[in-house]
Structures are given as structure tokens and as C-alpha cells.
Amino acid sequence: MKVNNHLIDTLVGLKNIFILIYIIFRGKIARKSKDHVVKKIHTISYRNFAPEGGKGGGAAVQSCQEILLGDKYGDIQLKYTYLKLNKFSNSGSLKELWGSAYSAIVNSENEKNSAYITHDYGTAFGLALLNKRFVYISHLQGPRLEEKTNFGDYLPFFNKRIIYFCEKYVFKKAFYVCFPSEGAKKQYFLSKYASVTEDEVRLGPVLHNTLYVEPIPKSISDIPIKKDVLTFYTVGTLTFAKGVDRIPLFFDIYLNQYEGKVRWILIGDGVMKNEILDKVNMLVNKYKNFEFMHIEKCNYEEVAYISSISNIYILLHRISIFDLSTLEAMKRAKCVILSKVGGNLDFNVCDNIFFYEEYSSLFDIDIVKLGENNKRAYEKYFSNENFIYKYTKLIDDLVGEYKK
């Protein structure tokens, strides 16, 4: 069996190496533009357009760009391209990398007087092969290898080397590499999976995300409002990086001291689901004043409803980029409990975030006041106006005097 598995891994690896060679060849033979004037900014990512909100990462931020910035900035045309399936979109274990790289090549190779913004590393790889002038904004939970490992993906040796090579190539060729938080940037370069060091990259400005949709809460009959209960809620994939498995310990300590009724509503699914549910079931049996509800998936309006009936948002990341769910809780004036790591630190602009590491003082805080501080923090530092200002400054840099 081990021999057969090794053989399969080798064959899969060889197939991916052949695709990599083809993608590189396809990019290198494309006619290169020698333009010195940028008249168009083309934002292109292998993600779906999400005007209704409720998405994360590149899909959310590129959609936000289009909605808030529109199709014109001064004399500069703003163009947006989203996921377009192609002949590599179903090419095995690295299909997203190959599909996005090829999509970037065929959708930009004949463009002139253009510079680019992308929110995924596969598209960035295709743009890099074309020698385009581009900004890569990384929304990954650390280096791509680390993210895939934390999601529980099986990665044979050749796949690891290919991912490492492509990400490194992108980081070295980009006009700018940007991150959605200062903490995310630091976490990337501190990771053992990092493909480059910080001094090998031309780093651009930190580009905090914002919210561009105001969903109307849609009630869920099985989850009623309970004004006599302190309700916590969590939105997150159940992976090592998100750290949802750390929350039961928080409740164990908290419930040992708190006699009132407590409810935790968890929204999410992932590889650590069974482990988390086992821990929570022990708490339910141990504390009669503790209620737990788990929803694997619900729509954006239902998440808004759960937020509206809750008092506190909690998520204890091990790796934090800049979660939109946290921004949503802040905008809705919720008290927010986070781990003191990565992008979570960026949210704490006026002592508005309660950090998990300080849980012993939870009983002394004013939950309502912290929620009000969060709403003010969102409006001052993470509003639509802040987003527009930062992205137009980024465009100014891309449009500036062309330098090879």
C-alpha cells in the first residue's frame, strides 16, 4: 500500500510539474508590453463577484473595490475581472493555482497601458510570468503552504515545492506585496513556511478591509432572543488557525466563576469539528447554566440576526489576518474578545478589544461600553472612506512613473 501511495504521489507530482512548465512557457512566449504610461488599473482575481456580501478574503475585497471605487478614478479606467473557468480549472490537486494563473495570462496578455491588482497568488503568478506591473494583496492565513496544512489538505512533496516556488516568484516580482493588517504581515514573515524574507520583498501599504453591505437580519426560529442570557457568538472555519478549539477552555474558566445563564452560538464547519464538539459537550454536562448551539452554515442575513441577539463576539485565532466577521461585530457595537495575535492587534485602536489572555478581568469590564467603543473605532479607522483613501493612494503609486 505504501509503495502504491508513493507511486501515486509521484505521478501526481509529475503531472503538476508538466502543467507548471506549460504555464511558465505560455506566459513567457506571450508578447510583452513595453508601455511607460498606465491608463487602466485592472483588478483581476480567481474569485466570484460577491455584491451581496457575506464572503471573505479576495472575493469580498475585490467586490468591495468595484462597489466603492467604481469604474473610474480621475482619468484612469478601473476594470475588474472575476473567476473565469478554463481548461486548467479542474486539473487535479493544484487546480486553483493552475486555473488562476492561466486565467491571468489569457485575460491580460494583450492589454496595453495597464497595471494590475490581484487578491490571489495564482493570478499573481500568471501576471508575474507576463512581466506585468502588479500589486499582490495576500489574504491567506500565513504562507500558502501553512494555510493548506491547517485546512488538513494532503500535500505530496512535489506539490509543496511547486507552491513554495510559485509564491516565492510572486513575492519577488510584485511591484508591491500588501497585507490586510500589520499583524498579518508580521505573521507571514515569522512563519517557518515563508518562501521569502521581508528584505527580499517590496512591501506596500497595509490595506485594512471594510464592509460594503448592510444585511437585513433574518430571524431563525430555533434561535430565539433571550434577554436574560449572556449570549456569545463565533463565526469561523473550524481549523487550527482559527482557534475555535480554544474557546471551550475559556468557557470552562468563565463558567466556574459566573453563575448567570450563558449561551454560545457557533457558526462554522471544518476539520476540527468533532474535537470541538466533544469539548463543548463536556461543558454542557458540567455546567447547567451553559447552552450551546452549532450551525454549520447559514446565510449572511442569518448571521446578522445571530449577531443582533448576541452580546459578545469571541474568536481565539492562532493565526489572524483581518477577519471581516470581527469588523461586522464592531460595526454592530458588540463587545469583542480575541486572542492577542496577528491581525487582531490591528483592531485594537482605542482599547476597544478585550483580549483572551486577559480573561481574568472579564467580570470587571463594561460590555456595553466596549461595544460602543468598537462602533466608534470602526467608523473612524475602518470605514468605507478609509478604504477608498488607501486604495486610491495605491492606484496613485501604480500609475506613477513606470520603472522596470
CA distances from 399 to 40, 115, 242 (A): 8, 7, 37
Question: Per-residue pLDDT for 71 more than 60?
Answer: yes
Question: Per-residue pLDDT for 100 more than 90?
Answer: yes
Q: What is the pLDDT of residue 404?
A: 37
Question: Per-residue pLDDT for 67 more than 50?
Answer: yes
pLDDT tens, position by position, 304-350: 999 999 999 999 999 888 989 999 999 999 999 999 998 999 999 99
pLDDT tens, position by position, 207-225: 999 999 999 999 998 999 9
Residue type, 117: I
Query: Domains (ranges, CATH) in the chain?
Result: 31-210+385-399 (3.40.50.2000), 230-382 (3.40.50.2000)
Q: What is the pLDDT of residue 8?
A: 74
CB 177 within 8 A of CB 267: no
pLDDT tens, position by position, 149-174: 877 788 888 899 999 999 999 999 99
Q: Rounded to whole angstroms, how far apart are CA atoms 348 and 374?
A: 9
pLDDT band with cut points at 50, 70 and 90 for residue 360: low
Question: Per-residue pLDDT for 142 more than 90?
Answer: no
Q: What is the pLDDT of residue 359?
A: 67
Q: Tell me the sheet residues that pair with 299.
A: none
Look up residue 88 and give its DSSP letter.
T
User: Considering the chain, what is the average pLDDT of its residues?
Assistant: 91
Percentage of the chain lying above the pLDDT 90 cut: 76
Torsion of CA 391, 394, 399, 401, to 10 degrees: 160
Q: What is the pLDDT of residue 403?
A: 41
pLDDT tens, position by position, 253-302: 999 988 899 999 999 999 999 999 999 999 999 999 999 999 999 999 99
Question: Per-residue pLDDT for 123 more than 90?
Answer: yes
Quote the cell numbers at residue 112.
496595453
Q: Rounded to whole angstroms, how far apart are CA atoms 90 and 15?
A: 13
Q: What is the pLDDT of residue 401?
A: 55
Number of helical (H) and strand (E) elements in the chain, helices listed first: 14, 12
Q: What is the pLDDT of residue 34?
A: 63
Quote the cell numbers at residue 79.
476594470
Across the range 72-80, mean pLDDT stands at 96
Chain centre distance of CA 322: 7
pTM comes to 0.90
List all residues 6 or more positions away from 180 whose beta carbon is below 8 Å from its beta carbon: 61, 137, 138, 139, 206, 207, 208, 209, 321, 322, 343
